[in-house]
Structure 1
């Protein structure tokens, strides 16, 4: 606390630290009947009109996450795309294809820009929660009675429950003394957007390659967004290319399935790792999103796991009917509710990444055979689809 600054205390039922997609959705979901505050270091821009350019960070939103967001009044999102089919190719002839019709649905997932969904959430929060941004947290304290976060300006925010939604490098998780195991994949996720020469048909395409995993996600207006998970050195080489040269490289890596690609904006990259918090709860503390867990993006489930956290926590507190939201027994229920799904998704994505990273011929034949056999096994494939696209 700075000398000479008067301390002001504000009391809330819920204090959320981190105003990204997951943190903002938690705040909005909990705003009914509770006094909620959302603390963010930098206030995201509230977009009054759609920008001409496209955000390089695109998320595949599962039907369950989309329903959750729709229930909060923040869907449909402007210029969202859809994934009607998914075409996955192995590195030695293996292939599997998922079609929404097999589930009696119109789409497997929706595609939406991070920037636009973020702005939509923040607009919806106006007048429903107290937005404290920009703000710099300095200290966290929690005991059996309450929790508090002290800001750099001397303000003290007290609450019954604090939610850590401040990302993989969570300040709040560290302040609470919760260990976080992080296993780097030695890879970067290179992302960018392109216009296609041929219609993409609302089909998501993915290739397991010797140099990593390349995914093309369909966007409206015959655009695609790509995520190329590749080793650090290859990622640096891709980012060093001119936009036109990168577009040519991406098109060639995908077998020119959609013809020539025209670049839209600059590419970017982010490091990939498997992360697990030793516990997703603490004293009057709950962790959500990347603060609780990170996974490899090959299945596109990272943000959906975070929305699953938000949905579970909000439902639990709604059912508590006025009970203390920081009650230790309630938080234990939240931990149990999320344990199985998070562990399963992390294990599947980590296992697939490691399986396709093996270079020996026998492993290559087996994994590609597995893709082909699963593609032919109707009941097994539909069971996988119901879980992955729920």
Structure 2
């Protein structure tokens, strides 16, 4: 069977892969998207939510997605409150930073379905779904990807956007260094007794990091990053007992809770990928990096991967080889600093609050309190966090 020819083949129809395809909509490039299952919306609220920075909301606007998202499902973040494990506090305000909002909380499936619909309408994209990659052959001029159904696609550039366990990354033999945290991230959505007023809250506790993220309406989404044994204990609780435990952990700031989506948990680890490009290959999103969820930056890194790679490909002249590794290294260099900074910051914070050396707790809480009274430092932290630099 002859292989269909494309300029770019994207393996993985998650948020990063779909946003890359959308970002290439006005180019001359012939694109194929390979995905095993189309995204779908749950009947109620999606327990998997993301914090989207203003910089990435702007990116989604540029690629024609943001304006189509249901506004009644978007929750702006007007302020953040962070609490240490010995009474320290740190708060950020959009108003104080001169911004309309610090970001938005929205459901993963909401973004995925809108991105998917946009991609299906693109004249330069061929959607191969359901499809599963089975084998690939790399030559000097192309990559030939064979699918499980026997079809084949030939491309000058293959994009691995297929998640942490990336088949593409492994097929190319690129190593990934995983550092398990021995923790799980427990997620659930809750209805609140009191209004959250667009405030995101986070507690550094002896049993992990608990985040309350504002959802549209009188609801929040929680992410409790906690040791495996404690996560399993929480998962075993009844809905009423889990709500009571979450309320107590946050000192009942929003009153009582009612569970609106079942709790779920996933293992946490740091993942470093020393090389995210090779001859005829580039990795984006979770295939290229993994960080602790305490910063909420996971999808923001993925969207910025897509933005950077799309900008590079769109500016590449027709005569130049898209799969040339020297060209692709520009993308790797551009993304290295932000990715390394976020990985180092989240890992250091995690380690700082998980260690219990004598005298460490007072020092780290003193640091939070000092930061809270230094406006210049606080403003710098806010503007970096939202991608304003």
TM-score range, shorter chain: over 0.9
Q: Please name the residue that 1:39 is paired with.
A: 34
- The separation in 2 between residues aligned to 1:180 and 1:124, in whole angstroms, is 32
Aligned-partner SS, 1:123: helix
Aligned-partner SS, 2:349: helix
- The separation in 1 between residues aligned to 2:182 and 2:65, in whole angstroms, is 36
Aligned-partner SS, 2:201: strand
The answer as to 2:110 corresponding to 1:119 is no
Aligned-partner SS, 2:159: strand
The answer as to 2:337 corresponding to 1:346 is no
Q: What is the Cα deviation at residue 132 of structure 1?
A: 0.6
CA RMSD, Structure 1 to Structure 2 (Å):
1.1
Provide Cα deviations, 1:350-369, integer angstroms capped at 9, x if missing partner: 00000000113411011100
Q: How does 1:67-106 map to 2 (within 5 A)?
A: 67-76=58-67, 77-78=69-70, 79-106=73-100
Q: Please name the residue that 1:22 is paired with.
A: 16
Q: Which runs of 5+ in 2 are unaligned?
A: none
Aligned-partner SS, 2:101: coil
Q: Please name the residue that 1:305 is paired with.
A: 301
Q: Please name the residue that 1:56 is paired with.
A: 47
- The separation in 1 between residues aligned to 2:132 and 2:6, in whole angstroms, is 18
Q: What is the Cα deviation at residue 222 of structure 1?
A: 1.2
Q: Please name the residue that 1:4 is paired with.
A: none
Q: Please name the residue that 2:382 is paired with.
A: 385
Q: How does 1:148-159 map to 2 (within 5 A)?
A: 148-159=144-155
Q: Please name the residue that 2:280 is paired with.
A: 284
Q: How does 1:205-244 map to 2 (within 5 A)?
A: 205-244=201-240
Give the TM-score taking structure 2 as reference length.
Answer: 0.96
Aligned-partner SS, 2:113: helix
Q: Please name the residue that 1:166 is paired with.
A: 162
- The separation in 2 between residues aligned to 1:292 and 1:320, in whole angstroms, is 22
Provide Cα deviations, 1:163-212, integer angstroms capped at 9, x if missing partner: 00000000000000000000000100000000111110100000000000
Aligned-partner SS, 2:220: strand
Give the TM-score taking structure 1 as reference length.
Answer: 0.95
- The separation in 2 between residues aligned to 1:361 and 1:210, in whole angstroms, is 15
The answer as to 2:289 corresponding to 1:293 is yes
The answer as to 2:360 corresponding to 1:369 is no
Aligned-partner SS, 1:178: coil
- The separation in 2 between residues aligned to 1:309 and 1:248, in whole angstroms, is 39
Do 2:285 and 2:301's aligned partners in 1 also have CA atoms closer than 8 Å? Answer: yes
Do 1:8 and 1:154's aligned partners in 2 also have CA atoms closer than 8 Å? Answer: no
The answer as to 2:61 corresponding to 1:65 is no
Aligned residues: 380
Q: What is the Cα deviation at residue 52 of structure 1?
A: 4.7
Aligned-partner SS, 1:102: coil
- The separation in 2 between residues aligned to 1:262 and 1:191, in whole angstroms, is 14
Do 1:143 and 1:283's aligned partners in 2 also have CA atoms closer than 8 Å? Answer: no
Q: What is the Cα deviation at residue 304 of structure 1?
A: 0.5
Aligned-partner SS, 1:157: strand
Q: Please name the residue that 2:258 is paired with.
A: 262
- The separation in 1 between residues aligned to 2:152 and 2:96, in whole angstroms, is 53
- The separation in 1 between residues aligned to 2:270 and 2:182, in whole angstroms, is 11
Q: Please name the residue that 1:317 is paired with.
A: 313
- The separation in 2 between residues aligned to 1:111 and 1:285, in whole angstroms, is 32
- The separation in 1 between residues aligned to 2:97 and 2:64, in whole angstroms, is 26
Provide Cα deviations, 1:135-180, integer angstroms capped at 9, x if missing partner: 1211122232111211112211111111000000000000000000
